[in-house]
Structure 1
Amino acid sequence: MTDARCRAVQNANFPITSHAMTQPSEQSAFRPTPQDKPMPLAEARARIVDAITPITDIEQVPLPAALHRVLAEQVTAGVDVPGADNSSMDGYGYRAADAEQDGATLHVVGESLAGHPFVGRLGAGECVRIMTGAVVPEGVDTVVMQENTRAEDEQVVIEKRPAPGSNIRLAGEDLKAGATVLAAGHYLRPADISVLASVGVSEVSVVRRPKVAFFSTGDELRPIDGPAGRSLAPGEIYDSNRYGLAALLSDLGMEGVDLGVVGDSREALRDAFAEAAAYDAVVTSGGVSVGAADFVLDVLGEQGTVDFWRVAIKPGKPLAFGTVGNARFFGLPGNPVSTAVTFIQLVRPALVRMAGGVPADPIRFALPTTADLRKNPGRENFLRARLVTHAGRAAVEPVDHQGSGVMRSMSRSDCFIVLPAEQSDVPAGEIVPVEPFAQTIWGQPDE
């Protein structure tokens, strides 16, 4: 599909509905210069997240469609879970007072199955055969697992008695009627869908997904789905960033709107910004430095606002954050690894907040590095690496090429080694902070 057709399809699929995050932006007084001091990452992240107002548009969706959505309203239990005392084992239910020693023999007077409870009350010396999940009959206070018994006609011998009260799940043990099941702002995972179903919820109120426009900038970029047989001309490259951004947005659960490739001219950028300004957010790659063909900041300053544009990280120092029209603007650097790192560290938590969720703080732990690490003090470094076992212990191994244009370094990695701004070279064997790629990015709301 060509870029033009892709844009038309995406726009048709994702109609715009407004929310109260921003008003159309006024022209910015900010003008970037090469002398602007980069902002520390923690400050930049906090500043961006604090500037985002969550979307307030609400949708009702059936429970099966609620996976990976953010709850807009608190859900309260209408029933106890479980609804009655029930057995957690297959075995026999009895009164503990009737089996005070191993080897006690009880008379089996019936059975209780899940969905088919025993009717009646147990008398002295009696027991019932009971299955997992079955209602505990009146008079039963203990269940012995089947493996610790021996059946003899209509009697059962308890060869190894459990502690009194064992193997019974009490009514309301999981949730009491009237209790909060999940709070507003909770990101729904598979287990949450099961919990909601357990209290009889068939549909939920969720926050509308953010609609995020994205495009790449650069005259050198060519789509991977261009004319058959066309080869790259000298100086041309395939537009990998746009496909990477689409995947990152999809993985986050956002509605991505592909605006294609925009050339290196103020006129083309003005048109692209005008189109993107109606969405909730816009993410671009490339053109955010101060080179001869870098016009993103200039046009953003004309049509919107620029809050800041440099972050003290490597890779990814040139990053523009601001507003254009109704949209929060994220201008990412053009080198592929820089695009990915800045999206993960700065754009992703902002979009989580925009979606009504709570951005989780990055989880980091300490491991020894298997190789020497080269670093100059000044910027926080994100080195691509793999978690490995080295000499019988967990360790972290940097990949062999750390260039910001080498996306293969991200593809071969499963974590970052994060070196603080003031850090210098690190010898092999030293303990370093590690941030795994696989971790939660949706924190828990206050409940």
Structure 2
Amino acid sequence: MGKPSDLSANKAAADSLSLHSNPGESSRPHNNNDDLDTPEISIDDLPPNYSEVESLLPPTIPPPSPISAPVTAASIRMEDGKVFNELNNGAQFWIAKSLENPAALESHIRKLAAIPPRPYINLVGTHTETRRNDKDKTETSTVVDFDVSVELTPYLYSDAQYRKSWCQLRTVENFEKTRRGTVLRKRAPGTNQSIEVGGTPKPTLTEWCHRYAASHAGLKVFALQRTMVGFDEERVKDQLRTLVNNTNYRGHLKVELVMKNALVECYNEAKTNHWRLTSWIQTLFVFTLLFIFAWPYLWLRTKRWEVAISEWPFSRAAEGGGKEYVSISEDQWYNLWARAIYKAVMEKQQKVLDQSDLRRAQEPDPALNTGNATVDGALGLFRAGVGAMNEVNRQLGWGRDC
């Protein structure tokens, strides 16, 4: 039910759709054994910050054909739609009557799939302090020594200015466990746990949109998941742990890959869906503990289609073996950022590093010349003191619980 009448088993629809046409694009192959001697990259070779490529292309530089105008989250509008944004993780939730039309839903999903996820490498160091308060009671608190992040989004483009990437929009395979208009995750009907050869073709995005539109469920949602693939997360984590441990840090270190802007959900037009996404109603239900009853009700009532995935490769398998990278390899990224991350950790910063931090990390400390000998002497003494403290920390350890 809900499947378009002109769709047949022999329909020539590709399983995945490339979202970017990159004629003449040259890939950068890397063999598996190139990890030992990876050359450092000049800062000038770094792709621009993600925020720098949000604007339209300058009119004096005609883009190569075919190139469409860049699609951003702010550029997508719906006359009858309302969008709710999650500030912490960048998730988006759309509600519009027009999205119950299968063609409009498919078009909307394809536009949203052209927007990349926002992956961050995050390093957090903490230690625990135990003290006695005025009432002679023991209090334990967690102190953040540093919280440093680096965004990986620019490295998902081979040319960020012209939006060249290897992004593909695909639908879930029949053997994948996911919600297919259901409450619980399951595989396609008649699919074994092993991959079947010559089985029933998986539904295309068009078919899934028609199934969603044909559903009579009172509450339903069609989800798009953005993800980064082909990134050796564990290798980078190990390198960063070693980098921080070399500073003789004795606290609790957490290195993780944080994926923001990864989830998009399109809800059908219903008052309940508006209420569930309104922030003050969410807060009211939390403080009054009504969420204990509301959450099971919403979970059981809502039919979910989690079948669309937008994949943004960091690398992919090369034809002759090994890998080819869309921009730079994991080791090249580490060589590029290690010095800036090391400096930020030693300075106990809590921020997202950008290109200004890269430049400062590679440039010598500026000379102190304010024109006042007393001030210059005080600043020089302060700088020497900080350097001495960092050297002592490296020798004796720092950040331990106390």
**If the length of structure 1 is used for normalisation, what is the TM-score?**
0.22
- Work out which of the two has the higher radius of gyration on C-alpha atoms and give 1 or 2: 1
Q: Which has the higher helix share?
A: 2
Q: Which has the higher strand share?
A: 1
Q: Which has the higher contact order (CA 8 A, sep 6+)?
A: 2
**If the length of structure 2 is used for normalisation, what is the TM-score?**
0.23
